[in-house]
Structure 1
Amino acid sequence: MPGDSAPINLTNHFLIAMPALEDGLFTKSVVYVCEHSAQGALGLVINKPADLSLGELFDKVELPLGRTDLKDAPVFHGGPLQLDRGFVLHPSQSASDGDTAEQVYASGMLIPEAGLEMTTSRDVLEALSNGAGPRKLLLTLGYSSWGEGQLESELSANAWLTVAADKAIIFDSPVERRWNDALALLGLQSWMISSEAGHA
């Protein structure tokens, strides 16, 4: 019976846009789901670079960027909400004291199953300006969000494929390959899910 199935939890999964999903930012997008519960979902698009580098972003916020390795890294369009706000996805730097994990930065979200954090406070930028901060990161302006039941209904309409996330795709895959690399986690190639596929 409908409603009897256990709720799905896509935290630490990729949403891979199906070819039929032609919705500006979400066309051929890969979204990393930071949080998914009965109340809804929050994620960051990881393969849509903005026309802005980290070096340029730091100039705009009037901070020096003390990490030359990140100067030319792209800033991404994370989604259509809060476009003026930065979201930094990075491997967890929580100070672990026995059983309790304490976040290093003032504001953010731990994603324990992934060993990742999503930080929204300025102190992560200040750490980078001092030459410190996370070794790997993905910085987006804006985020994506789904209300209660919204993502589930998009999934049942075949707008997205889902797969457990792979950190290497977030931080290491060339941007233009991330959609194909995420599909490959499912053993798929883009031609296999073409929106023009014939039906026998």
Structure 2
Amino acid sequence: MVSEKAPVIDTLTGSFLISTPQMPDPRFEEQVIYVCAHSHEGAMGVAINKPSPFFSLDEVLRNANLPIPKKALPPVHIGGPVELESAFILYQSDYQAEHRLEISPTISLSRETKILEDIAHDRGPERYLFLLGYAGWGPGQLEAELLADGWLTLPADDHIIFDVADDEKWRMAAMLYGIDISTFGDMIGYA
């Protein structure tokens, strides 16, 4: 007799976590987190739709004594509540950095300052987000939050990360898969 088991999620790396209306932590209300690493040791991701009202990339470049490029710069994003003083660049992998975390075949994450220098000199990645901080979970913590219906997991989409307006990413990421996230909790049932 063969026993059927529910599929085990090996890793959520490269996926979206979309906060549901049941999210108990107000810091993650209407957030889209791009999961950068996930294993039995925990998880790490960055919020991709939370622009900072306090910092601009122009200021970051000026403070680093770097020139301001002619083309428009994206906003600085708050990647999460952990280590807000740490900067990360999430970028399309057609640009190559020496020190990077390859999340998917098309997306990488780095803290390498050379990327910021390349952005200042118009030779950096074409599509990127500059982030301060990240979201982190200890062993089993994210899985517990998933069971409590705080997050919806969906395949990530590069277009949502880089091309959709920040205030539309939460809704659009879910709508790609036919989910109206604003009514998500109204439809959950338990057997």
- TM-score strictly above 0.5: yes
> Of 33, 45, 48, which aligns to 2:47?
45
Mapped contact 2:52–2:77 kept (Cα < 8 A): yes
User: What residue in structure 2 maps to residue 59 of structure 1?
Assistant: 62
Deviations 1:170-191 (A, max 9, x none): 0000110000001112311134
User: How many residues are aligned here?
Assistant: 185
Structure 1 residue 39: deviation in Å?
A: 1.1
Query: Kindly, what percent of the aligned residue pairs are identical?
Result: 36
Mapped contact 1:67–1:128 kept (Cα < 8 A): no
Mapped contact 2:68–2:120 kept (Cα < 8 A): yes
Instruction: From the two aligned structures, give the one with the greater strand fraction.
Output: 1
Mapped contact 1:163–1:185 kept (Cα < 8 A): no
Structure 2 runs not aligned, ≥5 long: none
In 2: Cα distance, 1:81 partner to 1:198 partner: 31
Structure 1 residue 129: deviation in Å?
A: 1.4
User: What residue in structure 2 maps to residue 26 of structure 1?
Assistant: 28
In 1: Cα distance, 2:141 partner to 2:91 partner: 27
Alignment of 1:17-166 (within 5 A): 17-51=19-53, 52-70=55-73, 73-93=74-94, 104-111=96-103, 113-166=104-157
TM-score normalized by the length of structure 2 = 0.87
Kindly report the root-mean-square deviation, in angstroms, between the aligned alpha carbons of the 2 structures. 2.2
In 2: Cα distance, 1:183 partner to 1:152 partner: 20
In 2: Cα distance, 1:169 partner to 1:5 partner: 27
Which secondary structure state, in structure 2, belongs to the residue aligned with residue 50 of structure 1?
A: coil
TM-score normalized by the length of structure 1 = 0.84
Moved over 4 A (4+): none
Structure 1 residue 35: deviation in Å?
A: 1.1
Structure 1 residue 66: deviation in Å?
A: 2.4
